[in-house]
Structure 1
């Protein structure tokens, strides 16, 4: 007599996982690299908070003009009746804060600080984003070419990076911005100043991105997928833009988020020195310039634009740190 067949296990337990009829799809579904990175990013509460603040700041910059139109905020409107004519300080406590002026008013002229902060947000973010995009474009292109081809190409690009890094960037930016203030390239006024700032900050900062991309490319060019592409007859441009660049997205994205706050501070510094955004156009650096002259009258006026820059830079840094940890497969 043959031994009886054991039937204690259910049909779902004895079948292969691929043909399970009662298993849920989420139990056997694989996760993509993007989904894994998103899951790891969500665990970092500080990075999530920084990302939320960054999104709100971007929306504020994009919708600055509509917000001003809807709520009737004029960054250049004078409210001298709210300022003491002798002391030049705003009437009332905390810089003249009220329901009509939640952040107070500017000493001397009485301009609404909330309206000027909103107006300055799109200027600072536009300059920082444009300069970052220019730096990333130039640095990524030259860095990946130098890292992949090596030899004399790498030597030429590396010496070019060293040359740009040897420039005294701040003095160079001050001289160029001051020389082009009146008009150039058919532009004048605010568009010219924004364009000059984007060019000066972005064009002379690309070696930092170029060095990072070059080092990553030198590591990736020895990987198996590059050798496989070569064996199939792929040429240099195809390998650069179809094989290497997709694998460089993570470090480029992380460094870009860290470069934006640096450019915001650079723009604020140039505006603070008087060669950036010219008044009466509101900018966070320009507001700090005026605040330094009036800090004995009203210290509150220095606090408002200073906190705007501080929160923006902190949010971008937290977001960049979170992205770095989420996209790095070697991190815990």
Structure 2
């Protein structure tokens, strides 16, 4: 037999503290759920790219007036000298593109396309964000109440959702917008049109958020932390706003990023039909409406606002998909 190897005084007898001598001690820090979600989100390069585009679009919309002043552009200034009087089309190639007008000018009137794109960006985003906030507020409150209380409360709210979803939203929006074109509630002009669009789009879209929140609340109300809150004597309002709603932030954020582009398209559709934002105020849908008569001879005037809507909607959708995967990796 081989004699046992003596290990006295060797490293095998050393204490853990002795083995770690000379190694810089570092405190292990835990990560919050937000930090974990941010780490997952950063790994999705497509979603990060969409988020960057969204940030740039929001900045461009917020700074549209300063950018126009910096570039010396006016969305409502006519440049008749750049229009051919015989064809009413822009002079030169590519829709009259030049250093002074990087995206060219529109047919017939000669207004700068870049200036009108910047001017229309803040209108579209204000309407989309405002309508999303309104629909989220109504849908979240009614959805969490229906999901938590159940019974007759759930039945009444669910039937309300079904009723609103049965409305022909586009026709109803056209009727309301056309009725309130002149003035109402002490408002007129652009502020009235924006508020009407926010109300119509947001008020009739809340059931979509309500259904999502209701489904999540039905699952959360059976969880242990809700039972613990009940056992400690917490009442319904406290459980709704302190226990359930904080756990519904993730799906609300994700669905909001997917609802904003839908609202942008809806606003553009109403403006395209002539019952949304009224000229001379620039809007992407209004530009498409004016460009339809010149599409065959000057397609650039329709391509530019159409591309602006496409890029904006795509960026928000990519951001929403990335947030969904980051906040709920089991959904992948």
TM-score normalised according to structure 1 size: 0.94
Q: 1:1-332 counterparts in 2 under 5 A? A: 4=8, 6-8=10-12, 22-25=24-27, 28-331=28-331
Structure 1 runs of 4+ aligned residues shifted over 3 Å read 2-16
Query: 1:212-245: CA deviations, max 9, x gaps?
Result: 0000000000001101111111111111001100
Measured in 1, the distance between the counterparts of 2:210 and 2:100 equals: 48
Answer whether contact 2:7 2:13 (CA < 8 A) is retained.
no
Answer whether contact 1:87 1:297 (CA < 8 A) is retained.
no
Unaligned runs of 5+ in 2: 1-5
Answer whether contact 2:83 2:108 (CA < 8 A) is retained.
yes
Measured in 2, the distance between the counterparts of 1:70 and 1:63 equals: 10
Measured in 2, the distance between the counterparts of 1:91 and 1:329 equals: 54
Answer whether contact 1:79 1:110 (CA < 8 A) is retained.
yes
Q: Give the 3-state SS of the residue equivalent to 1:248 in structure 2.
A: helix
Question: Which sits farther off after the overlay, 63-72 or 136-145?
Answer: 63-72
Q: Give the 3-state SS of the residue equivalent to 1:54 in structure 2.
A: helix
Aligned alpha-carbon RMSD (Å):
1.9
User: Does the C-alpha gap of structure 1 residues 9 and 46 become closer, same or farther in structure 2, counting only changes over 3 Å?
Assistant: farther
Unaligned runs of 5+ in 1: none
After TM superposition, give the deviation of residue 12 of structure 1 in Å: 5.1
Measured in 2, the distance between the counterparts of 1:57 and 1:210 equals: 28
User: Alignment length, in residue pairs?
Assistant: 327
Measured in 1, the distance between the counterparts of 2:295 and 2:220 equals: 53
After TM superposition, give the deviation of residue 23 of structure 1 in Å: 2.9
Measured in 1, the distance between the counterparts of 2:298 and 2:195 equals: 33
Answer whether contact 1:88 1:297 (CA < 8 A) is retained.
no
